[in-house]
Structure 1
Amino acid sequence: MKQFFLVLTGILMLFNIALAAKDEPTFIKADHITYDEAITTYIAKGNCEIKKDNHVLKADEAIYNKTNGIVQLYGNVQIYDNEGDWVKGPKAVINIDTFKGFADNAVCFVAKNHLYIKAKRIIMDDKNHYYASDTTITGCDCPECLSFDTKYAPEWSIHAKNTYIVKNNYVFSYPLWFNIGKVPVFVFPAIEEPLVRKSGFLFPSFGYSKTNGFKYYQPYYWAINKSQDATFTSQYDGKIGYGLNTQYRYYWTDNIKGQWDIELFKDTTPPAGDIKRTRLNLDITQNADFKKYGDLKADIHYLSNKNNLRVINDDNMQLTSNLYTTSKLMYSIQNGPYFLGVNNYFYQDLVAPNNSQTLQKLPEVFMGATNLDIYKKLSLDISSLYSYNYRQDGLRGNVLDISPSFSYPFKIGFVNFLPTAGIHYLFSNYSNGLTGSQSSVVPKLSLTARTSFFKIYDLSSGNRYKHIIAPEVSYTFVPKVKQEFPDFVNTYPQKSALNLTLENTIIKRTVNDKGEADYREIFYNKITQEYRFANYANAPIKPIDPIDTYIFPRYVYSNGPIYEETRISPFPFFNFSSQAYYQWQKHTFTYTADNLNFNFNTFGFSIGYTTAKDLDFNTTSNGITYSVFFYPIKKLYTYISLNRDILDSYFPQKRAGFYYTSDCWGFGLDVFQNAVPQQVGNTYIANKNVGFWITLSLRGIGVFKKR
């Protein structure tokens, strides 16, 4: 009996502790507080504040009955929680223990979505569930509009007969109509605004274009759990067909994540001669980091119809295509300087009628080590690569490439030297029609010398400039070695080349009012050129790039193009960038890409120019891009963008638009014209496609787009 009594006493003590923990204390603060013991009621006046369970209740006057938990609040009532949500009004009655009650002529604010909900009475079922009838919903910050004076109205609002609020979940209203100012515009049967990740239909996209006809995209979002979600988008294009796009994302752990994108489309008007009316595009990315046990990556791409990726070339308006899609499955592991990996590559040929002659690497194994200390500064890098190359028709077989190299860095004065010496051992056997094997040993020597100088310039304004000059000279030698291998072997061509590089960098240092230093690159330039040599009697050079060749006794001297890269930004609002290959003996650029940008507070513009020439110095590409934007008024952004092909004298793309933003809404219109492929007989021509899209954003609700 004594043991039973002790156990019972322990259970009762635990029960009382649990009740005490559940019964959170209530704190009251005010300018003046009185307590009527007969009715167990506190009466507070002036700056009243009551705190309990992460909630704060404020009012000019408060009456709190300690027995039943009822709080009556009068004058400037404010009810806050710890997430920034609140309810305000002139009067409220709440049970502080259960949080049941109501607030009259009240406004509820949902902080996470910045949404205001106004009603003559907001009923609270508990801390998380509210209900109101005849509500006005808006995202506009307008105190006068949130009053009950009908003279004022927000810039936009939704008026609903019934509104349910589930905090940290959703706001649901029905039926409702949408107002701009005081004018009703359209009616909705219902609307649900999620406050967290929640399954449901997202805003649709709809519109019209000349090539696709009427377009309607309807996405549905599925919040599977905290680490997985999926979006299903039904797609309808009136002139070409319909389909379903699926995106599945997962984040199982911090180390395992990925994404699947699946497009299934029924083409109602396929190109002439194309019998595949249903197409499937599959893109999968997967990353799994197992820390010390390695890293697994997958990148899968598959097309059921190779025409899916065919496009019109902007230069000559002929049908072109990516040659392949590439799918990869890769695993690698590293322990200190040692590494090991296995790769698998699958290529889908988009040009050939089938995939029978497409070379696949299944698998490719590599291993080796980097920067192994041998003796003092002498280090060893070694890598080995084995691959099995397979195709249905044509030679296939194995390749082994073992490449050790030694390096010994040293310094003389201000110059850093890095000499390296190594070999490439190649072995391959092959089959399918022909059977055989070859091997070769290709030596490689290189020497790089690099240094840098700098000087700092102090200005009277307190700013500083640092000028850095970094010259580099490198020489690479690979002798001519007989390498008669199948086409799936990457060989090492003969090379005897000297590379000269010079880099100039200017960095500006400024100090702001807080004494913090800010560094900005205002100038960068890099110039490099390659000079090739070969024994004239034994190995005359066959130039690959556009180069000039001079014959001296026993040697061929080849001068390659000069590569130039420049970035200039003397002011925060201005920057210029350039890349170019210049053949100075021919006095011509074989490739250039230049961009000029100005960006001010109220306007800006950019100009881009590109050109390219082939090995015979014939121009193959020549285009210019113009882009201008400006703010005619503070809240209005406008832009114009033009791409012009100088070579063929046409505009492959034109775009223009504007976007207006207010404190709680935005509206934009974008118009475009571009060239799209259209089959005429057995050829393709450029057909002008004109279209537009509209963007409407409502603060607190979301973004509507018409594409």
Structure 2
Amino acid sequence: MPVTQRRSRRRFALTPVAFVAMALLPLALHAVHAEEADTPLVLKPSALLQEQIPLAMREQMPTFFSGDHTLGRPDLDTVIDGHAMMRKGDMVLQADRVEYYQPDDLVKARGNVHINRAGNIYEGPALELKVDAFEGFFNEPRYQFLKNGAFGQADRADFIDDSRVVLHNATYSTCRREPGPSWLPAWMLRATTISIDTEEEVGTAEGAVLRFQDVPILAFPTMDFPLSDKRKSGYLPPTIGLDNINGVELTVPYYWNIAPNRDATFFPTVMSKRGVDLAGEFRYLEPEYKGTLRADYMPNDTLRDRSRWGYALTHSGTLQTGISGIGGLGLNLNLNRVSDDNYW
């Protein structure tokens, strides 16, 4: 007798407990959303700074304070003691104590003061500053600039505005710091005043003395120098040498930025046993050719009792013949000539 299998269908019935759970589910979801809506937003501090912000925009930005103890009167003043921090736009200020007077937009900071303004850092014992105008002074600051990594210290820094600062009795160096407490920068500039203009990217020193390994080498009544990698006309670091034939040698180069594709360097040299050597180099760069011309002239070589000279020209490029099927021809020149066979 055949066996017939019958498929059974099971039906699940909701119990009273399930009915209650489904009824309460919408209320529970509503309560969760309500709790999330009532939870206040919390500001999260960040170590990142914005790039330099225009004054008009900076005035509209909020100011944030934090510290161990805070006292204040609305729209009047705020005083923070212990791990004090003030932050606004592209500026962050840290100190042991910070006092901010809102009607004058004036901040006074004392003790372990550290201010970072768009990446330029100043540290010292005391600061007074009008925040938005960035006008004030810093006593005995140490500083480091973002664009070229230059650093130094001064008796006082006077902030003229957000682009200009005047450093009094100051030092300035771009030498990379090496580990060790006895490290000294190879080259350092000391000056009565150093004016820094980050907008023009130029520094100007008055009463300046250039020092090598902390030994004074050259003095300048006034001099200027670039604050970035952009090419700029001006004096380059001098070169000092000692030779058993030429004697003591001193070269003070001057760089002339003629155009983006042309420049010249003049490097007069004084040799104690020979005299003066007037030398220069001219470089040019064009789409189809480039070259360098160097020339030296010594009016009177005291070791040879005559004037001496030499020049060298290197040139490479392409000449367009205009002839069909030939195209361009490469041209390379390397010319050298001197005044005598013993020219060095």
TM range (shorter): 0.5 to 0.7
For 1:279 and 1:75, the matched residues in 2 are separated by 62
| Corresponding position of 1:263 | 295
Contact 2:262 2:282 in 1 (8 A): no
Contact 1:106 1:121 in 2 (8 A): yes
> 2:241 aligned with 1:203, yes or no?
no
| Corresponding position of 1:126 | 161
Question: Residues 531-578 of structure 1, C-alpha deviation per residue, up to 9 Å, x if partnerless?
Answer: xxxxxxxxxxxxxxxxxxxxxxxxxxxxxxxxxxxxxxxxxxxxxxxx
Q: 1:277 to 1:71 in 2, by over 3 A?
A: closer
Residue 343 (structure 1) aligned to one of 316, 329, 332? 329
Q: 1:86 to 1:22 in 2, by over 3 A?
A: closer
> 2:85 aligned with 1:99, yes or no?
no
Q: 1:61 to 1:267 in 2, by over 3 A?
A: closer
> 2:83 aligned with 1:29, yes or no?
no
Q: 1:341 to 1:230 in 2, by over 3 A?
A: same
For 1:266 and 1:187, the matched residues in 2 are separated by 23
| Corresponding position of 1:164 | 195
* % same residue: 20
Contact 2:311 2:336 in 1 (8 A): no
For 1:349 and 1:186, the matched residues in 2 are separated by 37
For 1:20 and 1:174, the matched residues in 2 are separated by 37
Residue 219 (structure 2) aligned to one of 181, 185, 188? 188
What does 1:654-673 correspond to in 2, within 5 Å? none
For 1:47 and 1:112, the matched residues in 2 are separated by 29
Residue 54 (structure 1) aligned to one of 87, 90, 94? 90
Q: 1:177 to 1:228 in 2, by over 3 A?
A: closer
Question: Residues 95-128 of structure 1, C-alpha deviation per residue, up to 9 Å, x if partnerless?
Answer: 1111111112321223455443223322111123
Residue 112 (structure 2) aligned to one of 76, 99, 105? 76
For 2:65 and 2:289, the matched residues in 1 are separated by 51
- What is the Cα-based RMSD across aligned positions, in Å? 4.7
CA-CA distance at 1:137 after TM superposition: 5.0
For 2:310 and 2:217, the matched residues in 1 are separated by 38
For 1:283 and 1:117, the matched residues in 2 are separated by 42
Letter in 1 for 2:96: D
| Corresponding position of 2:50 | none
Q: 1:185 to 1:219 in 2, by over 3 A?
A: closer
Letter in 1 for 2:202: N
Question: Residues 50-83 of structure 1, C-alpha deviation per residue, up to 9 Å, x if partnerless?
Answer: 334522222233222333221122232111133x
Q: 1:20 to 1:194 in 2, by over 3 A?
A: closer
Contact 1:24 1:52 in 2 (8 A): no
Q: 1:125 to 1:340 in 2, by over 3 A?
A: same
Secondary structure, aligned partner of 2:154: strand
| Corresponding position of 2:10 | none
Q: Give the structure-1-normalised TM-score.
A: 0.32
Contact 1:171 1:195 in 2 (8 A): no
**Residue correspondences, number:** 275
Secondary structure, aligned partner of 2:327: strand
Letter in 2 for 1:232: F
Letter in 1 for 2:257: A
Letter in 2 for 1:341: G
CA-CA distance at 1:30 after TM superposition: 0.6
Residue 284 (structure 1) aligned to one of 298, 305, 315? 315
CA-CA distance at 1:219 after TM superposition: 1.4
What does 1:536-615 correspond to in 2, within 5 Å? none
CA-CA distance at 1:36 after TM superposition: 1.5
Q: 1:346 to 1:48 in 2, by over 3 A?
A: closer
Is the helix fraction higher in 1 or 2? 2
Question: Residues 266-304 of structure 1, C-alpha deviation per residue, up to 9 Å, x if partnerless?
Answer: 5757xx9xx99654433334xxxxxxxxxxx35xxxxxx
For 1:118 and 1:129, the matched residues in 2 are separated by 16
Contact 1:267 1:279 in 2 (8 A): no
CA-CA distance at 1:93 after TM superposition: 0.9
Secondary structure, aligned partner of 2:252: strand
